[in-house]
Structures are given as C-alpha cells and as structure tokens.
Amino acid sequence: MLRIAIGGLSTESCTFSPLPTRLTDFTLNRGEVFLNRYPFLSEFDAEFVPLLWARALPGGSIEAETYQQIKDELLQLLRDHAPFDGVYLDMHGASNVQGMDDAEGDLIAAIRAVVGDQCLISASFDLHGNISRREVENLDMLTAFRTAPHVDVVETRHKAVSMLMHCLKTGIRPLRAWLQVPLVLPGEKTSTEWEPGKGAYAAVAESDHIPGVLDASLLVGYVWADEPRASATVIVTGTDAEAITHEAARIAQRYWDVRAEFDFGVRAGSIDECIEWALAAPESTVFISDSGDNPTAGGVGDTPLVLGRLLAHGVQSAVVASIADQAAVALCQTAGIGADVELSLGGKLDSLNSKPLLIHGRVLNVVPSQNTEIVVQVEGVKVIVTERRRPYHFIADFQRLGVEPLQHKIVVVKIGYLEPDLKRAAPLALLALSPGAVDQAIERIHYRRIQRPVYPLDKDMIWKPTPLVLTR
C-alpha cells in the first residue's frame, strides 16, 4: 500500500505589520487531529500519515526561531515515519520569516532533501500565495484555490491528493510551467465573484480539458509582503511540455490584459467619505469595511481611526467591531458592567498609522473567554474591545455580545470584502480605504524590495509571458 505523509505550514505574513508571529500564535496540529481537513481520504487506496500542520492567523513576519522550530519538527517527523511514496503539503503560500525570503521555498526544499528524489510531493495553496521558482522546482505538482472568497477549499485539497495518487499509480513524473505575472493587486479587487476576476478564473478552468495538462493554477498573490517573489504567478502542471507552456502563457496573458479593470466590488472611499455616504444612504444599515486594519489579511487590529471619525461626525447609531486592547479590556472588566470608564483605546501597535484614542464610555457587556470581549457605549457608538485581534465574520459574533448589528445605522468591521454571512445580511456595504498595515491603496505602500517594474506601480510597463518549464 502506498504511504503518503501529510503536513504543512499555513499563514499569511504582512511585512508591514509591526507584530511578529510567534510560536504562541501558531496552532500546531499533530497527527490525527487535523485529518478532518481531508474528508475524502477514504476514497484512496493508501495509508495517510498526518505529521504536523502549523497554522496561524495572518500577522507580521514569523520569528526566525519559531519558523526553525516548526521546520525542524516537520522534518524530524518525516524522518521518523519514513519511508514515504508521496507527500502532500497543505500550504497557504504567503509566509514570511524574519531575515529570510521565500519561506515556503526554504521549507519545501528542505522536505525534498529529506524524502529524496523518488518520492512525489504535491501541494495545495491559497490563491493569495506568492509562489517562487524554488518552490515549484522542489514540488512535483501543485494546485491552488480558484475562488475568492474561498469556497473550493476542500475541493482543492482533494485535487492535490488525487493528482498525487494518480501520478504514483501511473508512474507519471509531471512537469511544471511556471511564470510570474508582474501584478500586485489586492485580494479585495481580485475576487472571483465579479469581473474581471471571474473571467480570469473561468479562463483557468478551460485548461482542464487540454490533453497533457493535470492542473492549471493562477495565484493573484499577496501584496503586503515586501519581498522579491511577491507577484501573481501561473503554474500549469502536466505531462506535455508544449501544452503546459502554451496554457501557462495563455492564462497569464489573459490576466495581464484585464489588469486595469480590477476594482473593489463595492463603493470604496476614504473613511470620511464612507461615513458620509452611509449617513446619506436610504438603507437602514450600512456596513463599512475598515480594510487597512483587517486582521485576517495581517492587520494589527487595534487602529481606532474609524471610531475617531464616527465620533467626530457625531454618528448616533453605530457598532465598531473591533479594537484589540488588552489593557482596556482589563480596565473595563475590573470596572464592571454599567461602569463609566475613561480609556486610551487602541492605536498602540501600529504607530506609523494610528495613535491611541481617548474616549469616555459606559461598559455595556463583558464576555469573559480566552479572548475576553467588552462592549463599551461611547456616545452613539457601541465599541467591541477584545484582548487580542480577532475577526467578526458572522452576525452571531455580534449577537453573542448582546449587540444587534442590524439595529444600527453603521456597522464597522475590520475586514476586506464582506464574508458571506455578513454580505447576506448587509443592506449596503462600503469599503473604507483606511490606513494600516494592509492598506488597500497599493500606490500608497512604500515597497523597497519587490521586483520592478510591476503594475500598478509602473503603469506604462510592457510585458510578455515567458513560462519556464521546470523538471527535477
């Protein structure tokens, strides 16, 4: 019976965030506990050996020692449980390690060195990964999501495993055509739910019917990583060098051709513009994305900029979810429900983009947990304060705290595009181009190390796709 190891590293590292990702930020899933990510394994005639899958909420660059520890453990587990016929790596693709470029390239090359050349390695990636030549050289095959928001997560993992099984059973040793497309476009503009992202990904799926192609992947990349590999990439895996080269060039050219058409899926403007538009809107509730401080993209989650502007506008009915501030939570918890408090709120982590906001408020609710949440009424605004940054992606996340978002005129969420549950509930959504570590206004970002020229920083650049066929 074929033996397949499963492991991986999954996080997204914003090099503009001052908050390093430490070992305590990772969930280290060892052995059977992460097998539920792959509900399809029983359909394959193989023994799957789950080793280590390390995951962290997107944040700043991973501390070097933390990465080394995770890498060492994964490599040791591979040695301890050897031999393997195949390895499946469940990756994100946008990790950054302090003092190191191309973290996944380093990890995958090290795994290759341990398992040797005969073992086949397959990987799946988030389409927000930045995929280097070194990664593709050390893998045998790979695939990536084709939807954003990601609704083909399990399907993609399944594809990576079934491709691996197919190649192992038939003796196929695939080739990969890889190329970078010099585009840095944020995920909020490249959703596959609207054009031109939708059409770009429909064009990827056309390759599925081409003889000699096993997989075609287009990754829009992760733009808040200032390292040379940050860009879009196209990788086509298959058995026919000519076919995969042709398809990779076709997908890349198709994506490049529509570069100027990418835009936010909802009306976007400055914080003040969004507040004014919301107040003037006939809709009973307007959701505003505080997109520059989105923790699920790597934002620090504590900037009080939008709250400050809501108060300046004298908004009478709003909710802000959320501001991370451990000291403020402790103070409110001690003061208790109903107490009046004075807080120097948020703005402590990302000094480049914000500073603390002095507020007077009343504690409405305290919900103790591993990440205690407080609701504070500040004039017309209910502010959710948490010990550590966390996302609010569901209406139930608010209701749990005794807050009914739809009973307020404005609901501010630290997020990019609205996640499906909020999107369904929101009568109207706006995207605030708020300053922060994950600034959506790419032209405002001070890049130092990405490859130039790149669009849209170098608007007039000329480019032609030239895929490289990589073998081992």
| Residues at the interface with Zn ion (CB under 5 A) | 126, 128
Distance in angstroms (rounded) separating the CA atoms of residues 472 and 139: 8
Cβ closer to Zn ion: 12 or 85? 12
Q: Give the nearer residue to Zn ion in terms of CB position, either 128 or 414.
A: 128
Which residue's CB comes closest to Zn ion? Answer: 128
Q: In the complex, what is the shortest distance from the CB of residue 220 to Zn ion, in angstroms, rounded to a whole number?
A: 9
> In this complex, which beta carbon is closest to Zn ion, that of residue 145 or of residue 398?
145
Amino acid (one-letter) located at 422:
L
Judged by beta carbon, residue 10 or residue 386, the one nearer Zn ion is 10
Which residues, in sequence order, are bridge partners of residue 12? 94
Helix/strand/coil (H/E/C) assignment for every residue in 405-470: HHHCCEEEECCCCCCHHHHHHCCEEEEECCCCCCCCCHHHCCCCCCCCCCECCCCCCCCCCCCEEE
- Euclidean distance between CA atoms 238 and 214, whole angstroms: 5
Of 422, 195, 383, 183, whose CA–CA distance to 302 is shortest? 383
| Complex with Zn ion: residue 69 or 147, whichever CB lies closer | 147
- How many other CB atoms are there within 10 angstroms of residue 222's CB atom? 31
Q: How far is the CB of 128 from Zn ion (least distance, A)?
A: 4
Q: Which tokens is 56 given? A: 């962290």
Nearer to Zn ion, 172 or 442 (CB): 442
User: Strand pairing partners for 261?
Assistant: none
Nearest to 144 by CA among 17, 26, 10: 10
Q: What is the largest CA-CA distance in the chain?
A: 71
